[in-house]
Amino acid sequence: MMSFSDVVETIKNLSLEEKQEIQALLTQYLREERREEIYNNYRKSIGEEQQGELNFSSNIDELKQLIED
């Protein structure tokens, strides 16, 4: 298995077109990972809401208290 520094060195030796392709792939992979993270957070919050674990308020003092707890 290649170390991170080996991967970096290998990438440095690629052509410009290959580097751009890697950049595009990484951008796509990062976007997909972020979407998955957002979706998982959404599912978690739905579960918390259904279990009554979420607190909602428009009272600023109450919101401050919720943050401090």
Per-residue pLDDT tens for 18-67?
999 999 999 999 999 999 999 999 999 999 989 988 877 788 988 888 78
Which sequence spans correspond to the domains of the chain?
4-68
Considering the entire predicted model, what is its pTM? 0.66
Per-residue pLDDT tens for 14-32?
999 999 999 999 999 999 9
Task: Count how many residues are written for the chain.
Answer: 69
